[in-house]
Each structure stands twice: as structure tokens, then as C-alpha cells.
Amino acid sequence: MSIAPPREAWHLGIIGGSGLAAIDGLEDAQEIAVASSFGAPSGPVVTGRLGGVRVTFLARHGAGHHLPPAAVNYRANIDVLKRCGVSDVLAISAVGSLREAMAPGDLVLVDQFIDRTSGRAASFFGPGCVAHVGFAEPVCPRLSRLVGAAAKQAGGTVHRPATYIAIDGPRFSTRAESALYRRWGADVIGMTAMPEATLCREAELPYALLALVTDYDGWDAGRPPVDAATVLAQVAANAALAQRTLKALVANLPAARAPVPADTALEHALMTAPAARDPALLARLNAVAGRVMNGAGVGALSASG
């Protein structure tokens, strides 16, 4: 049996959400604890090859799903993936549906976000180094297109485009809230995509979100209210489809990875004059923003423990 040669330009970072705690079939897998200047990430990464493509996986909620959405250190997670040298990030998340057509078991390619979270560290930048990234188009169209094609090949029913509304949780919505989000134009609801997507843009990492529908949220009074048992049952059913999608994705990646706009998102985003930048903050930003601050590449992968 012939083995396809590695495609070194692609290095996929996979963020696994509810129900996706590992990647099946990862070759030469190594678990590595990577240190971040933004605190502790959700856990170690697992890096290896899938179909000849370098893949680095991080479980968003940590081992055994011990972190609730608001307690995830999103900055550390994205900083760690950047330090590992990933070129693109695919997030996989369980969501509730706000649309009749998006049924439990379906897959949704998100292209827009409404952020209703609060109190989360939503930027790598701050006093001492101010940056404003463009975010009108928050996901990478190329990566989303590739993921969508892979999901269909894997046998999934795929919806695109879609708007994701992010809430803090950990509780599910009231019926009134769910109905309101529908009127706002949201299609699916979740608790983790923000500030994850924003931080990927600041780190110059193209981002796509594959949402796995688990329930109909609370807007339809004709259905039983959503509960954790319902969600968990559908999460287990969705997991196999997600695994098949990942295998199809790596098999179909182009041999060459052409640049995309997100690769240079910080090019004109830094507002603080070089002389006014805080050296301590610059040191923390060495991975996510080193390319534009000092011409250096991302920091070397740092193992700890």
C-alpha cells in the first residue's frame, strides 16, 4: 500500500469540544505539555500525523471535560497552538439549533458570530500594546469550504452559511432568550466560540468552526426543553461523523498551501508606537505577534513538566 507524502505546508490545529476528546488514527502521536505566557491551557497537546498531514489536537474543556466554558483559558489555548506552529485552526463544537432545518445530528459551517459573553479575556493585546484586527469576516472561507466538502463526503448533512450566538452558560437558554436570539438572526447557539475565534484572528491563524447540532435549544414550546442528557446522547452520535470528516479533510487538502488574508491579520493592526510598547507585554506576545513586532517567527515549541 502506497503512502501519500507529507504536505509540510499544512499543520492543522484541531480544537475538540464536547464529544471529541481525541483524534482516531493519529500516527506517531506525542502528548506534549506546552507552556504559554498567558497562563495554563486546557491541557497538553497531542501532535502527530493524519493522512500524511501534521495535526495538533487540544481538548478545549481539558481531560474528562473538567472546564466549564467560562473557565477555559482561550488565550493560552490559542497561544499554545501558535507556538506549536499550526497553520490553520479547525474548532469542533456542540451547538443548539435555532432553526427547524438544522436538526440534531446535522453539521453547520459557521461564518458569523454574535458575542453575548462577558468577563472573558477577549484579546492578547491591551495597555502597552494596542491592536485592532479586522473581524468583519471572522472565519477563513477556504478552510470552511474544505471542511464543508469533507463533511459531505463523510456522509453529513451540512448547512452553510450560519450565524453562531455565543453565551456564557453554563446553563441553557430560557425559552424567551432562545426566541430572542432567533429574531436577532442567529442560527445556532453555543458557549465557546468567542473569544476563541477572535484570538485566532489576532494570532494570524485562519479559523473555521464545524458545529455539531445536538438539540433544538428552547425556542420551540412544542418540544421538551433541552437538558444535558439529551445533549450527551447526541454528542456521542455526532462524534463518529466528526472523526470521518477529519479524515476526509486531510485527504483532500491541496498539496500546496497558498496564503490567505488571516495569515497577515496584524500587518496594519498595531496602534502603539514602538517606543511606547510595554516590554513585558511584548515578551508575552512573542508567539502570537512576533512576526510584526520584531520580524521574528513564532516562538519555539516549549515543553514543560
pLDDT number for residue 180 = 98
Is 107 a member of any domain?
Answer: yes
Give how many domains the chain has, as a whole number: 1
Is 18 a member of any domain?
Answer: yes
Averaged pLDDT of the chain:
91
Is 302 a member of any domain?
Answer: no
Global pTM reads 0.92
How many Cα atoms are found within 13 Å in the side-chain-facing hemisphere of 202? 26
Question: CA angle, corner 120, sides to 22 and 148, nearest 5?
Answer: 45
pLDDT digits (tens, 9 = 90+) for 123-179: 999 999 999 999 999 999 999 999 999 999 999 999 999 999 999 999 999 999 999
Q: Is residue 162 within 8 Å of 151, Cβ to Cβ?
A: no
Supply the range of the domain harboring residue 108.
11-293
pLDDT number for residue 225 = 83
Contacts by residues 175-178 (CB-CB < 8 Å, ≥ 24 positions apart): 175/218, 175/219, 175/221, 175/225, 177/218, 178/96, 178/98, 178/217, 178/218, 178/219
Is 103 a member of any domain?
Answer: yes
CATH of residue 206's domain is: 3.40.50.1580
pLDDT digits (tens, 9 = 90+) for 245-272: 999 999 999 999 999 999 999 999 999 9
Is 4 a member of any domain?
Answer: no
305 by Cβ neighbours in 10 Å (0-12 / 13-18 / 19+) ranks as exposed
3-state secondary structure of 142: helix
> Would you please indicate which residues are annotated as catalytic (active-site) residues?
215, 217
Is 300 a member of any domain?
Answer: no
pLDDT number for residue 237 = 81
Please state the rounded mean pLDDT for residues 76-101. 97
Is 27 a member of any domain?
Answer: yes
Is 85 a member of any domain?
Answer: yes
Which ranges of the chain does DSSP label H, i.e. alpha helix? 74-83, 141-153, 175-183, 193-202, 228-252, 279-284, 290-293
3-state secondary structure of 230: helix
